[in-house]
Every structure is written in structure tokens, then in C-alpha cells.
């Protein structure tokens, strides 16, 4: 359709909208986890058992919380873009594995899987020109 033919010119605007939206939502999920303190971090970090890591769960929980909260902010800005997306992809892989191990099936893990695919794809796409990391 001719109405959509020119939208390709707005690729960078689309990336900006995607970055801001996903970054804000990740901040929304991550900041309460950061503020939760060591007990909540240990609970979150115990998720690493799905890949055989059973030590210092509070550290791993804090890293997941920072990945979501601060990573969301950096994603929004387009700063340290690719490393942030790598961390968010890893966080979503662990989240998906936790849901699958709980017996929730693919439907229970679908949100984490979908976000993981998006973050993994963004590693290759880049931040676009409306970002702090613009090239």
C-alpha cells in the first residue's frame, strides 16, 4: 500500500520509540527489585539454580535487578546499548527457564521468551541515530 511506502524513512524514529518503551517498562520491573534489599535479591538470585549456580544468590539477584532497572534506563538512552541488551537477553533466558522448570509450560514462559528475542535482535540492529551511543 502506498500509504506505508515512506515509513522506511522513519527507521530511527521507530527504534527510538522501541527503546524508550522497552526501557521504561524494564525500569518499571527492575527498580522495585533494586529497592527490595538483600532478602529479595537472594530470592531472585536463587533462580540461577536452573543453570547450576547455587552460590551467592543475593549477588545474582542484585545483578538481575540492576540489569532490568539500570539496564532499562541505559536502553532508553541508547547508552552501552549492545552490552545492556546482552545482559537483558541473559536475564530473560533465566526467567524463561525458571517458568519452564516450574511446569508453567511455554505459555508461562512466553513473555520472557518474547522479550529475550527482542533484546537479542536489538544487539544486531543497534540503537539508531537518536541515541547517546549514535555513530
Distance between CA atoms of residues 123 and 64, nearest Å: 18
Q: Are 45 and 62 in contact (CB under 8 A)?
A: yes
pTM of the model: 0.93
The pLDDT of residue 53 is 96
Distance between CA atoms of residues 95 and 20, nearest Å: 22
Tell me the pLDDT of the chain (135 aa) as tens digits. 677 888 888 999 999 999 999 999 999 999 999 999 999 999 999 999 999 999 999 999 999 999 999 999 999 999 999 999 999 999 999 999 999 999 999 999 999 999 999 999 999 999 999 999 876
How many helical (H) and strand (E) elements, i.e. helices and strands, does the chain have? 5, 0
Distance between CA atoms of residues 51 and 10, nearest Å: 41
Joined together, the cell numbers standing for residue 61 give: 539477584
Count Cβ atoms below 10 Å from residue 39 Cβ, excluding itself: 10
Q: Are 28 and 75 in contact (CB under 8 A)?
A: no
Distance between CA atoms of residues 87 and 93, nearest Å: 10
Q: Give burial (CB, 10 Å; 0-12/13-18/19+) of 127.
A: buried
Amino acid at each position: 500500500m502506498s500509504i506505508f511506502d515512506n515509513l522506511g524513512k522513519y527507521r530511527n524514529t521507530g527504534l527510538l520509540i522501541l527503546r524508550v518503551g522497552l526501557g521504561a517498562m524494564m525500569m518499571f520491573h527492575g527498580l522495585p527489585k533494586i529497592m527490595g534489599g538483600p532478602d529479595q535479591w537472594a530470592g531472585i538470585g536463587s533462580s540461577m539454580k536452573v543453570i547450576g549456580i547455587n552460590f551467592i544468590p543475593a549477588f545474582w539477584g542484585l545483578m538481575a535487578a540492576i540489569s532490568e532497572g539500570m539496564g532499562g534506563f541505559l536502553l532508553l538512552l541508547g547508552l552501552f546499548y549492545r552490552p545492556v541488551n546482552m545482559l537483558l537477553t541473559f536475564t530473560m533466558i533465566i526467567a524463561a527457564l525458571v517458568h519452564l522448570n516450574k511446569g508453567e509450560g511455554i505459555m508461562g514462559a512466553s513473555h520472557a521468551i518474547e522479550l529475550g528475542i527482542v533484546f537479542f535482535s536489538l544487539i544486531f540492529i543497534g540503537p539508531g541515530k537518536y541515541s547517546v551511543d549514535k555513530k
